[in-house]
Amino acid sequence: MSNKLKKITSMQLFLPIFCMILVMAANILYDAANGNFALNFFTISIKNGVLYGRLIDILNRGSEIAILAIGMTLVVSASAGTDISVGSVMSLAASFCCMLLAGYGVSSTSNLAVPLLVGVLGGILMGCLCGAFNGFLVAYLNVQPMVATLILFSAARAIGLLLCNNLIVYVRSDSYKFFGGYCGFIPTPIVIAAICVLIMSLLLKKTALGLYVQSVGINKKASRIAGLNSEKIIFICYLVCGLAAGIAGIVASSRIYSADSNNIGLNYEMDAILAVALGGNSLGGGKFSLAGSIIGAYTIQAITTTLYALGVSTDVAPVYKAIIVIIIVTIQAPPFKAYMKRRAAKKALAKGGAVA
């Protein structure tokens, strides 16, 4: 029995699935304690022609974090560092997109200045440029990832404000609202996140990219000796991370049909990093699980939704997330793992002595 339990707990997806189960259990207990139907968390219905329910809300609101988690997973695995600029890049991509759609200096419009596709692709391209900038600093100039991405973390929102002429630009077009609205009866962000996850999963499984990323993350020098272009692989990972931030920025902007440079993507970098850690991925790089990161992303949204339901304010909620990060990082730390192994060995030795 102990061997089976040890095998289960050692699985990479054990941590994210276990955390998700804990969040579900907390919601069940909360509903039961308040005299509501205990399984309200899992209830899904159709109201006004669209899907409605707590699960749907979590999948919908957690879509941006899930998209960001795709790029963050690759960045952490390849460079053993994090991209702390993704939230600001989201804001910049959204600002550039809305500026193109509305026209420079225009604060509100219902008539698009350029075709919708041009504006959306422009925002996504801006995200890619930011990712390429970060990737160049990390991969080719060997700047520490946190230091390199700190540049855009500080500057991207300001650049977005400059592009929007220091205004909140409103794009009151139904075609633009689609990305944050509904595709039939399903929230469009859920569909976009599912497509992004599917494409990246196929890319990692059908090509050698996943193997290359893990190899570089485990040992960059050995990978170079083996014939891999380590710098190029790290650069691609940051480029993908920028692409993901650009897509997430379009979705977030479409929800509120505007470019609010100060608030779009605010603190999302912490949620993206937490999603990767919660997914059972080591923040020291190397082997990764994309599925774990996606589960981690939606678990974070579930935690956020649960905290709000329990009456925790939006200002205090990040404190609880920070505590979760500390616990996860501690569990993954080599000294802690070594300590647990020594403790298990002592218990086994004591048990063997007692039997003898």
Predicted TM-score of the model (pTM):
0.90
- pLDDT averaged over every residue in the chain: 88
Output the DSSP codes for 152-191: HHHHHHHHHHHHTTTS-EEE--HHHHGGGSEETTEEHHHH
Measured between alpha carbons, how far is 89 from 349 in angstroms, rounded to an integer? 54
Specify whether the CB–CB gap between 54 and 27 falls below 8 A. yes
Question: What domain count does the chain have?
Answer: 1
Output the DSSP codes for 267-336: THHHHHHHHHHHTT--TT-SS--HHHHHHHHHHHHHHHHHHHHTT--TTTHHHHHHHHHHHHHHHHSHHH
Measured between alpha carbons, how far is 238 from 139 in angstroms, rounded to an integer? 9
Kindly state whether residue 91 falls inside one of the protein's structural domains.
Answer: yes
Most confident of 5-9, 24-28, 205-209: 205-209
- CATH number, domain at 258? 1.10.3470
What average pLDDT does this structure show over 147-176?
Answer: 93
Give residue 156's domain range.
Answer: 2-348
Residues 223-253, buried b or exposed e (16+ Cβ, 10 A)? beeeebebbebbbbbbbbbbbbbbbbbbbbb
Measured between alpha carbons, how far is 251 from 246 in angstroms, rounded to an integer? 9
Residue pLDDT, tens place only, 286-323: 889 999 999 999 988 988 888 887 777 777 877 877 77
What does the block give as tokens for 37? 């139907």
β-strand partners of 58: none
Residue pLDDT, tens place only, 211-231: 999 999 998 888 888 889 999
Residue pLDDT, tens place only, 244-254: 999 999 999 99
Kindly state whether residue 135 falls inside one of the protein's structural domains.
Answer: yes
Number of Cβ atoms within 10 Å of the Cβ of 101: 27
What average pLDDT does this structure show over 134-157?
Answer: 95
pLDDT of 267 = 85
What average pLDDT does this structure show over 76-105?
Answer: 94
Residue pLDDT, tens place only, 260-294: 888 999 889 989 998 998 888 888 888 899 999 99
Q: How far from each other are the two terminal CA atoms of the chain, in whole angstroms?
A: 21
Range from 6-10, 177-181, 246-250, 312-316 carrying the lowest mean pLDDT: 6-10
Kindly state whether residue 355 falls inside one of the protein's structural domains.
Answer: no
Q: Is the pLDDT of residue 352 over 80?
A: no
β-strand partners of 182: 187
What does the block give as tokens for 118? 């041009």
DSSP reduced 3-state for 112:
coil
The tally of CA atoms less than 13 A away on the side-chain side of residue 65 is 30
Q: Given pLDDT bands bounded at 50, 70 and 90, which one contains residue 200?
A: very high
Kindly state whether residue 356 falls inside one of the protein's structural domains.
Answer: no
CA distances from 264 to 20, 92, 254 (A): 26, 9, 11
